[in-house]
Homo-oligomer: A and B are copies of this chain.
Amino acid sequence: MPSEFDLIRRHFTRPPAHTHLAVGDDAALFEVTPGMQLAVSTDTLVAGVHFFPETDPGDLGWKTLAVNLSDLAAMGAQPRWTTLALTLPRVDDEWLTAFARGFFACAEIYGVDLVGGDTTRGPLAMTATVFGEVPPDAAITRSGGQAGDDLWVSGQPGLAALGLAALRGQVRLAGEARARALAALHHPLPRVELGLALRGIAHAMLDISDGLIGDLAHLCKRSGLAATLEAESLPLAALTATGIEPAYARDCLLAGGDDYELLFAAAPTRRARLTALARQSGLALNRIGSLDTGNGPILISLRTADGLIAQAGGYDHFAQD
């Protein structure tokens, strides 16, 4: 029986920008731009698993949508629509107001219409399903990597893991370092513009929400290739500048999850173009390694100029090094 939940839905009813019929009927109705493919992704956040129950609801609203948009960014798709399924233990109007504010802040920035949803009672969790558009054959999948490609990563991977460690009291961070790490954790910025800019440039791409090594292993498997990472090329400086040990910083960077940066493969001929793109966009792009045909079961090797540091068949072994 609705009523209370009908009231909740009103928090989430705003005039859509490009949708025939949004929240309020049995289904939403909209038209995909003629000639475009639809890219669709869904992600769930569960209290106590993906976030602390006491997380600021505004941050949570933002993140619910942002982590989903990151999947569209990773395909080179333009986000357009979303649904939201909310499961709430109780109706807390203040919490909902803040959650909706965060959710719509993200939706408006990225040009996304909320087209429908469901509100149910139960343990706190939220599932968004997002829809983007991409021209036929323009989507950047995980499987297109080519031997000899450079591997690039955007932004500062490892920051979210550092923020989580700070919240858990495992590291001490103060001032701006703490603010940056917590912002990466609570307020991730999906790299939509970068994803769009990489159409026709990146051969393969994904976001590194499961950790750089883990997701790189996915890219390698799908592309039928192996990867070599150059330890000296990893963007560790901003992490170690917070005062943490270099080895710990590298663990955060390589194995930490909850980063919504893009990892992609591109031909070496694209280096100048990518360097220019980073300069224009103000978003760091670091070339951290390359793809090769590999050698047996080893998917990923980490090297310095002096030689091999570590190897892994998959991230789960690697993360324990």
Q: Is the CB of B34 within 8 A of A34?
A: yes
The interface-forming segment of A125-133, A167-175, A180-188, A236-244 is A125-133
Known: A31-B136, A123-B122, A129-B129. A40 touches B83 (CB 8 A): yes
Are A75 and B26 closer than 8 Å at their CB atoms? yes
| Chain B residues whose CB sits within 8 angstroms of the CB of A122 once the complex forms | 44, 46-49, 123, 125
Residue among A46, A125, A214, A222 with max Cβ neighbours from chain B (10 Å)? A125
8 Å CB contact of A87 from B21, B44, B205: B44
User: Known contacts A26-B75, A38-B29, A38-B32: does B142 contact A43 (CB below 8 Å)?
Assistant: no
With A and B bound together, what is the CA distance between A29 and B74 in angstroms?
Answer: 13
Our pick among B3, B34, B127, B139 for the contact of A127 (Cβ within 8 Å) is B127
Q: How large is the interface on A (under 10, 10 to 19, 20 to 34, 35 or more residues)?
A: 35 or more
- Say which one of A92-100, A110-118, A224-232, A280-288 lies at the interface with B: A110-118
Return 20 A-B CB contacts under 8 Å, by A number.
A1-B316, A1-B319, A2-B214, A25-B142, A26-B74, A26-B75, A27-B39, A27-B40, A27-B139, A30-B38, A30-B40, A40-B116, A42-B117, A42-B129, A43-B118, A46-B122, A49-B122, A85-B85, A87-B125, A125-B125
List the interface of chain A (C-beta within 8 A of B). 1-3, 20-21, 24-32, 34, 37-50, 71-72, 74-75, 77, 81, 83-85, 87, 115-118, 120-123, 125, 127, 129-132, 134, 136, 139, 141-143, 205-207, 210-211, 214, 222, 257, 315-316, 319
Supply 8 further A-B pairs (C-beta < 8 A) apart from A27-B41, A47-B122, A85-B127.
Answer: A2-B214, A24-B222, A25-B142, A27-B72, A29-B40, A40-B116, A42-B129, A49-B120
List the 8 shortest-distance A-B pairs measured between CB atoms, nearest first: A46-B122, A129-B129, A26-B74, A27-B41, A123-B123, A27-B39, A127-B127, A26-B71
